[in-house]
Amino acid sequence: MTASPSPGLEGFLGLSGALTGFSADFLAASAVARTFADAFHHRTPAGIAERMLAVWEEIVRQHPGGPAAVEEAVRARIWRDEALGPYARSLVKLWYLGAWHDPGPTPSAPPLSADAYAEGLIWPAIGAGAQGARAPGLGDWGTPPPREPLGDEPP
């Protein structure tokens, strides 16, 4: 349905990549990228998602091609920002766990769907298939584990 990401999704994927540690291209291939973008917009208080994306666009403009500098800027202007930081954490959990967690000490939340669970980044991050949803085949578990997380990092 979405052959190429809309401009809005592109920004969302770039921001998500910087926060999750996976490349935007890897995230774009997720079956639930648009579902997560929608959840991010709908579950955050009015203006938060737009503001976080605007800050992200600004960071990209100011630090072309400098991943370390981008990371530092994201840390300072989003992750540690009093208003944005808590929702950036929610966004990371959304991508990793497939579930929306409101900021604060909330109990474990249910995944948005079975697909959202299965596409959670936690699985490639730990070098395994989604428990109960992805299988590598008989005996795969006897082979040496991967040397690093699956999926690309941001460039």
Partner 1 sequence: MTFSAVVVGSGVAGAIVAKELGVRGFRVLVLEAGLESPMDDAGFGSHVRSHLTAPVRGPNSPFPRNPNAPHPMPSDLAGENGYLVQRGPMPFSSVYTRYLGGTTLQWLGTSLRMLPSDLRLRSLYGRGVDWPLAYEDLAPFYAQAEGELGVAADAEEQTYLGVSFPDGYAYPMEPVPPSYSDALVAAGLEGMRFHIGGEVLPVQVTSTAQARNTRPNPRRDPGSAAPSSDPWARERCEGYASCVPICPVQAKYSALRTLRRAPPDRVEILTRSVASRLQMDPGTGRVTGVVCKRYHSPSSPEHTVEVVGGTLVVLAAGAIENAKLLLASGLANSSDQVGRNLMDHPFPMSWGLLRERAGTFRGPGSTSGIETLRDGSFRRERAAFRVELSNWGWELPTGAPQSDLRALVDGEGLFGRELRRALFDRVQRQLRFGFVVEQEPCASNRVTLDPAFRDALGEPRPVIAYDLSEYVRAGIATARRFSKQAFARLGAEDCTTYAPDDPRHFLHEGAGYSWCGSGHSMGTHRMGRSARDSVVDADQRSWDHPNLYLVGAGSFPTAGTANPTLTLAALAFRSVERMVRDLAGDGA
Tell me which DSSP letter residue 79 carries. I
Yes or no: say if 94 and 106 are a contact pair by the CB < 8 Å rule: no
Q: Under the criterion CB under 8 A, does residue 147 sit at the interface with partner 1?
A: yes
Please choose, from the candidates 112, 143, 106, 104, the residue with its C-alpha nearest in 3D space to the C-alpha of residue 37. Answer: 112
Q: Under the criterion CB under 8 A, does residue 43 sit at the interface with partner 1?
A: no
CB of 3 to partner 1, least distance (A): 28
Instruction: Write the DSSP assignment of 19-53 as a string of letters.
Output: HHSS-HHHHHT-TTHHHHHHHHHHHSPTTHHHHHH
Q: Under the criterion CB under 8 A, does residue 31 sit at the interface with partner 1?
A: no
Contact pattern for partner 1 over residues 59 through 88, marking x by CB under 8 A: ------------x--xx---x--------x
What type of residue is 97?
Answer: L
Contacting residues toward partner 1, per CB under 8 A: 18-22, 71, 74-75, 79, 88-89, 92-93, 96-97, 99, 107-111, 113-114, 117-118, 121-123, 125-129, 131-145, 147-149, 153-154
